């Protein structure tokens, strides 16, 4: 019996990393489910925001990778002809889409399927947090118009929708876009080894609290909010910012805020950090501050915890607070965040070390939970047997 073949469309994939969570989500899924399913990934030939293609990668042909096959579409071929050709000439059982608003990797294949000029096979669609209230507040008019048009056309009927949490399932249902479809909760997968109990934890260095922000520089990730909270902080803080600049105007706004910060706040920008280096960067800081406007999962939160670095994040993610200090969640209130950061700045080295141990234990507990794996396997089984999907 052959494995179920899943054809995946996603704007950016390995070796790219600048698009953040969706790449990690799909990579972890492929690594975790490769014994159950065969994945075929269709993506662009370059990373998000890059003008040049990946070096030494063949384009417009299937390329064998470690656990999958990848079709890198060149910039000049990215469009309806290539998508039409791939959908018609590839042997697959399920189409897996990793966005809602992406024109090339979602709306286009959905339109082709709707007109039945490509095979009308089961479709699983993962909005990846695009329906969270925080995400919908960014460019709201454009998104509302898009949603209204797609609802009227009925392009998204009879699909299986993947929600990574109960909250995301509510967000999907609330918009009324999943007409005649089914919403299935299958949490994003993480892939890694349990941290060693004998591994040396990095202690806090004397001086300022080392705060780190790692994410795309875009309004959704809310760096400007963090900078405004630091303006109210009286204690010494060293903020290290890492991430690709996705929005130049937004980054200019953040730079203006940085220029007005008081002398007790030091800010450095380290640019983009590769996934291979991310654990090293996290471990060299005392706290990851992530005031995101909304995440369907938030892989970067797990990356921090698995690097023994505690997290302060917004209440706009599915992650729950930890009473032992590994993870703190707060509403997006500048006053509350400022107070919390000042509390962290006053902690002793031993207290901060205890929070690192808490992050390590949180990671171990999370990795031992196999419910997410089971739910992801069931997700595609559901798509295959759901008669409404075909």
Q: Which structural domains are found in the chain, ordered by start? A: 4-189+370-389 (3.40.50.2000), 209-367 (3.40.50.2000)
CA atoms within 13 A on the CB side of 208: 17
Handedness of CA 288, 294, 295, 296 (dihedral sign): positive
Residue 146's pLDDT band, with cuts at 50, 70 and 90, is confident
CA atoms within 13 A on the CB side of 364: 10
User: Quick one: average pLDDT of 253-263?
Assistant: 97
Which of helix, strand or coil describes residue 267?
Answer: strand
> Which has more pLDDT, 199 or 41?
41
pTM of the model: 0.80
Helix or strand (DSSP H, E) at 241: strand 237-242
Percent residues over pLDDT 90 in the chain? 67
Does pLDDT of 58 surpass 60?
A: yes
CB 378 within 8 A of CB 371: no
CA dihedral in degrees (49, 50, 56, 61; nearest 10)? 50
Does pLDDT of 198 surpass 60?
A: no
For Cα atoms 12, 221, 19, give the angle at the middle one, nearest 5 degrees. Answer: 10
Which of helix, strand or coil describes residue 328?
Answer: strand
Does pLDDT of 387 surpass 50?
A: no
Helix or strand (DSSP H, E) at 269: strand 265-269
Which tokens is 332 given?
A: 């997006």
Residue 59's pLDDT band, with cuts at 50, 70 and 90, is very high
Does pLDDT of 80 surpass 60?
A: yes
pLDDT at res. 151: 81
Lowest mean pLDDT among 130-134, 182-186, 237-241: 130-134
């Amino acid at each position: 019996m052959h494995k179920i073949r899943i054809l995946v469309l996603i704007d950016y994939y390995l070796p790219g990393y600048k698009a953040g969570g969706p790449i990690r989500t799909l990579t972890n899924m492929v690594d975790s489910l490769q014994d159950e399913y065969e994945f075929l990934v269709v993506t662009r030939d370059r990373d998000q925001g890059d003008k040049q293609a990946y070096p030494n990668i063949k384009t417009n042909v299937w390329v064998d990778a470690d656990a999958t096959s990848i079709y890198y579409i060149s910039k000049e071929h990215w469009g309806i002809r290539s998508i039409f050709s791939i959908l018609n000439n590839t042997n697959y059982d399920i189409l897996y889409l990793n966005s809602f608003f992406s024109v090339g990797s979602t709306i286009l294949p959905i339109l082709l399927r709707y007109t039945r000029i490509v095979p009308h096979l089961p479709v699983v669609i993962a909005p990846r947090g695009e329906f969270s209230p925080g995400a919908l507040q960014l460019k709201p008019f454009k998104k509302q118009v898009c949603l209204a048009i797609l609802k009227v056309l009925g392009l998204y009927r009879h699909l299986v929708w993947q929600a990574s949490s109960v909250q995301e399932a509510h967000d999907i249902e609330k918009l009324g876009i999943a007409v005649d479809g089914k919403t299935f909760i299958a949490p994003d997968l993480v892939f890694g080894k349990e941290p060693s109990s004998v591994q040396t934890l990095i202690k806090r260095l004397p001086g300022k609290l080392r705060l780190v922000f790692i994410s795309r520089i875009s309004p959704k990730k809310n760096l400007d909010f963090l900078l405004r909270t630091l303006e109210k902080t009286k204690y010494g803080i060293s903020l290290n910012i890492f991430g690709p600049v996705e929005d130049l105007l937004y980054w200019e706004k953040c730079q203006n805020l940085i220029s007005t910060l008081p002398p007790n706040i030091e800010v450095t920008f380290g640019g983009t950090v590769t996934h291979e280096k991310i654990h090293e960067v996290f471990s060299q800081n005392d706290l990851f501050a992530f005031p995101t406007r909304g995440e369907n999962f938030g892989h970067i939160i797990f990356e921090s915890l698995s690097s023994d670095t505690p997290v302060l994040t917004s209440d706009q993610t599915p992650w729950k607070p930890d009473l032992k200090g590994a993870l703190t969640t707060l509403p997006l209130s500048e006053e509350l965040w400022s107070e919390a950061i000042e509390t962290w700045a006053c902690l002793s080295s031993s207290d901060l070390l205890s929070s690192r141990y808490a992050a390590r234990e949180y990671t171990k507990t999370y990795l031992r939970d196999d419910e997410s794996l089971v739910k992801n396997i069931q997700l595609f089984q559901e798509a295959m047997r759901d008669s409404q999907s075909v």
